[in-house]
Amino acid sequence: MARKVAIIGSGNIGTDLMIKILRSTNGALEMAALVGVDPQSDGLARAARLGVRTTSEGIEGLRRLPDYGDIDIVFDATSARAHLQHAEILRADGKLAIDLTPAAIGPFVVPAVNGSGHRGAANVNMVTCGGQATIPIVAAIAQVARVPYAEIVASIASRSAGPGTRANIDEFTQTTARAIESVGGAERGKAIIILNPAEPPLIMRDTVHAFALGEDEAALRASIAAMVARVQSYVPGYRLKQAVQFERYAAARAALVPGVAPGEEGLKVTVLLEVEGAAHYLPAYAGNLDIMTAAALRTAEDHSRAL
pLDDT of residue 252: 65
Give dist(CA 92, CA 40) in Å, integer. 30
* pLDDT beyond 70 at 181: yes
Query: Could you report the per-residue pLDDT of 141-180, keeping only the tens digit for each?
Result: 999 999 999 999 999 999 998 777 888 888 899 999 999 9
249 pLDDT band, cuts 50/70/90, is confident
pLDDT-wise least confident of 9-13, 32-36, 252-256, 296-300: 252-256
Annotated binding site for NAD(+): 10-13, 160-168, 288
DSSP string, 236-295: TTEEESS--EEEEE-HHHHTTSTTPPTT--EEEEEEEEEE----SSS-TT-HHHHHHHHH
253 pLDDT band, cuts 50/70/90, is confident
% residues pLDDT > 70 (the chain): 99
Whole-Å CA distances, 174 to 4, 55, 130, 131, 171: 32, 33, 12, 11, 5
214 pLDDT band, cuts 50/70/90, is confident
With respect to CATH, is domain 129-286 assigned 3.40.190.10? no
3 pLDDT band, cuts 50/70/90, is very high
pLDDT of residue 185: 98
Q: Please pick, among 7, 129, 208, 275, the residue that the annotation labels catalytic.
A: 129
pLDDT of residue 254: 72
Residue 293, by phi and psi: left (phi above 0), alpha (psi -120 to 50) or beta?
alpha
Does residue 129 have an active-site annotation?
Answer: yes
Is-contact 244 220, C-beta < 8 A? yes
Give dist(CA 128, CA 135) in Å, integer. 10
The amino acid at 88: E
Average confidence (pLDDT) over 115-124? 91
CATH topology of domain 3-126+290-304: Rossmann fold (3.40.50)
The residue ranges of every structural domain in the chain are 3-126+290-304, 129-286
* pLDDT beyond 70 at 128: yes
Annotated binding site: 10-13, 160-168, 288
Give dist(CA 49, CA 257) in Å, integer. 54
Average confidence (pLDDT) over 77-81? 92
CATH topology identical between 3-126+290-304 and 129-286: no
DSSP state of 203: P
Task: Give the global pTM.
Answer: 0.95
265 pLDDT band, cuts 50/70/90, is confident
* pLDDT beyond 90 at 102: no
* pLDDT beyond 90 at 38: yes
Average pLDDT along the chain:
95
